[in-house]
Amino acid sequence: MLRRRLNHLFGGDEGRVHSRTIYVGHKPCPPNEAFIPPKFCDNRIVSSKYTVWNFLPKNLFEQFRRIANFYFLIIFLVQVIVDTPTSPVTSGLPLFFVITVTAVKQGYEDWLRHKADREVNDYPVSVLEDGRRIRKRSKKLKVGDIVEVEEDETFPCDLILLQSSRDDGTCFVTTASLDGESNHKTHYTVSDLESDLQYLSATIECEQPQPDLYKFVGRMHIYRNSQEPDVRSLGPENLLLKGANLKNTQKIYGVAVYTGMETKMALNYQGKSQKRSAVEKSINAFLLVYLFILVSKALVCTTLKYVWQSKHDEPWYNEKTQKEKDTNQYLKMFTDFLSFMVLFNFIIPVSMYVTVEMQKFLGSFFIAWDKDFFDPEIKEGALVNTSDLNEELGQVEYIFTDKTGTLTQNNMEFIECCIDGFQYKHQEGSSELDGFCVTDGPVNKVQQKAGREREELFLRALCLCHTVQVKESTKQGQDQIDQLDHVDGLGSEEVLQPPQQERGFIASSPDEIALVKGAMRYGFTFLGLESKNMKILNRNKDVETYELLHVLNFDPVRRRMSVMVRSKTGDILLFCKGADSSIFPQVRQEEVERIRMHVERNATDGYRTLCVAYKHLSTEEYAKADADLREARLALQDREEKLMAVYNQVETDMILIGATAVEDQLQDEAAQTMEALQGAGMKVWVLTGDKMETAKSTCYACGLFKKKTELLELTLRTLEDGGRSREGRLHDLLLEYHKKAVQDAPPVKLGITRSWSVTGHDYGFIIDGASLSMVLSSSSESNSRSYKNLFLQICQNCTAVLCCRMAPLQKAQIVKLVKNSKGSPITLSIGDGANDVSMILEAHVGIGIKGREGRQAVKNSDYAIPKLKHLKKLLLAHGHLYYVRIAHLVQYFFYKNLCFILPQFLYQFFCGYSQQPFGAAHLH
């Protein structure tokens, strides 16, 4: 804020705040202009906490922030300075030992972080300079460098894709370390560039670094022969993010746009901080109380000492020296007070800290030894990374869980489809040639199936309306097929039989692969995309070719995606698939009722449902749509809004064909685990980067949302309704939902959990990443506080909360918001991917699942378990027992020390308040 005001006062470049200009290959553009290279940060990554110079002061400062350490330091200094009844060694030696051991431990951990940083920063990278390929260390990369990345390598910074080894100008990446999704995502090169990048003269104008993984707006100006520059639009499909891996593409070239700590991955990184349990904080509170008792006893004894001395003569055996007589009276009183403090110091239990640490350390072995946590698949059990938080497991109030890989196996399976109101379910033993088996249908219809023409139209829509790519296997034979990456959706049962060559499927979403494989079961096979031509094999074993004209990408507001294709006969068709709520308003209403019944039944069963529609486009309609789309894609400002307006204009008056049901298989006992945790009084929030429809289906399948649950939705789609500004609509919706869920809700009776409550009305809350950004960072500070409070109160009165399309940093922000709310509830985060690390570090307790998404979550977690089902015993059994044990231990120590120091205090009344220790002989 201050920097912005200073820039405004002193004529700073305001435009620089909103966008940056990058010179591709560091070449001046146009070539005859003077070139002043802009300054950006280098590509160095820093995750360490200390340096050689600041380790000692910074570490000591952090350690002495603990009340106990600071207190023992003061007592040690008093014993050194003042003549006290006990030796300084009694306080100094244990304090020195604890501080040294902790410093060595934290120093070693930070050295490991330095080592990991060096590995990343010194990783060799290929860069094109003056047409030559040179190798340099990753930390030497600069914005504007043209970088070469080969297959299976990780992108060293955020790149704009300029060139790919694939003929169609695409490349495939996996972003498991960013958003947890292991599926292949397709990215596209900037169109119509020079084949030799040495001669490319271009600039990129794009937004300043920001952490949203799914947003990027920019444009490229290409200069050729002193003509007007050609302008190309840039979007998220052109941006390759640091941390993602290149797959199924031999090599790519890209220009660096964001480097180092300005990459989206770095902006989503949540630094690791030291966690302290609620019991440790309670011990600190007890220490303050006992410190007050200690000071009170010392004051009482000091006062009574001088009262007693004023009434009694000085004894002959304890005469004061001349030096003592000359000492200032007030100074003498102060040193006597400090001596009493040291004498009664044992009321503060020094040994308790050592005993509690030993109890936590040894107690943590009970988790590692538990045979119920052993998983035969991975042949591993539970892992304890920190023993400081054992008792927190028994006090958890809020659980934040990832969806993909945690609640679900991320393994989509096509279940059934519905065409013109008739349900079709595939059966392996079906004798029908077309592979269909009708299981039910409207009883008032004479025919038992939809017409063959409608069936084939529906299957063509499944084969054409997607972004799936076909992966050719390099070798023949079943052995090679079994060794291919499982994520690609290729297995022995998925091999295409009609063609001679085996193929697998690559897609950005596993449900798209499931739909294409579902169409294969029924006789229509997608053969692949070649030079904008999509080929499918129909039931008659004839190859049909369609020219792909446009892809209208999925977005969370429309909640649908479409493709425009041209058949060999010249017909232009629009195929569209999406959520029922987004498709039904765009089609003829008389067709809706025939399919609504099946969609609602499948959604209740927890299946992911999609509706399919189509439309014939005339030549004039297509020409207008094509021109509008090209214009909207070049816009730098409000590009998304302009594209959405064109999409909505095209996707109207469609004809509904049918619907599909796809199952995302849950983890073992996921529903039972969620029910047990909710029955114990815990609130479960699902935080995912996935689409809302998929996540909502999972919540129904897990039992987090019930049939009677009323869903309160705060997403971009609901904010767009009503014709008002988003800010105004956000305010209205928050007030409306607050009235429903909080003000009008009946008071909750203590001791009654959700499982036993029958009369209460259940609410579920759904919010997406864009709406959450508006709640957390409103234009007005007062509004922002008000929105946060309303949001929290609504969520706390809902039985379950779903947050979808979340960036990793937003997950951490949600956890922090709840953690710092009224009452400071204990929070737990559980996930299996690198995108869950931020929320795992932010929560009081972080749990990693030893899944398929790598081990980043496990490394950064406090505890690691093989499966979600193990969470139930970890919290309800181990956590409960840990809390009971530590509570009894701490109370015993404080009681013991209070009883121990009371005779010492009473003894002063019988020894003339001379600070004489109560001897061991008097204790027996």
What positions carry a catalytic annotation?
402
The pairing of beta strand 422-424 with beta strand 438-440: antiparallel
From 631, 506, 597, select the one nearest 173 (Cα to Cα).
506
Q: Are 205 and 274 in contact (CB under 8 A)?
A: no
Q: Answer whether 843's CB lies under 8 Å from 645's CB.
A: no
d(Cα 92, Cα 90) in Å, to the nearest integer?
6
Distances from the Cα of 130 to the Cα of 197, 199, 256, angstroms: 10, 9, 16
DSSP state of 153: P
What angle (nearest 5°) sits at the alpha carbon of residue 644, between those of residues 642 and 646?
75
CA 61 – CA 667 distance, rounded (Å): 45
- List the strands of the sheet with 845-849, edge to edge: 383-384, 863-865, 845-849, 827-831, 398-401, 683-687, 800-804, 763-768, 710-714
Question: Apex CA 834: angle with CA 833 and CA 837, to 5°?
Answer: 100
C-alpha to C-alpha distance for 884 and 886, rounded to whole angstroms: 6
Closest CA relative to residue 494, chosen from 484, 504, 486, 485: 504
* Other beta carbons less than 10 A from residue 17's beta carbon: 12
Pairing of strands 863-865, 383-384: antiparallel
Q: Is the dihedral of CA 679, 685, 688, 690 positive or negative?
A: positive
Going by C-alpha positions, the residue among 388, 282, 341, 268 that lies closest to residue 82 is: 341
The rounded radius of gyration (Å) of the Cα atoms in the chain is 34
**3-state secondary structure at position 614:** strand
Nearest to 582 by CA among 522, 641, 651: 651
Place of tokens 């350390």: 361
Phi, psi of 876 (to 5 degrees): -80, -25
- H or E stretch including 440? strand 438-440
Of the candidates 499, 514, 463, 532, which has an alpha carbon nearest to the alpha carbon of residue 665? 514
- Quick one: how far is CA 749 from the chain centroid? 34
Q: What is the DSSP secondary-structure string of 494-559? A: G--SSSSS-EEEE-SSHHHHHHHHHHHHTT-EEEEEETTEEEEE-TTS-EEEEEEEEEE---TTT-
- CB atoms under 10 Å from CB of 638, counted, come to 12
Report the alpha-carbon distance of residue 828 to residue 845 in Å, rounded.
5
- Please tell me the distance from the alpha carbon of residue 467 to that of residue 157, in angstroms, as a whole number: 26
Q: Within 13 Å and on the Cβ side, how many CA atoms surround 880?
A: 8
Q: How many C-beta atoms surround the C-beta of residue 920 within 10 A?
A: 7
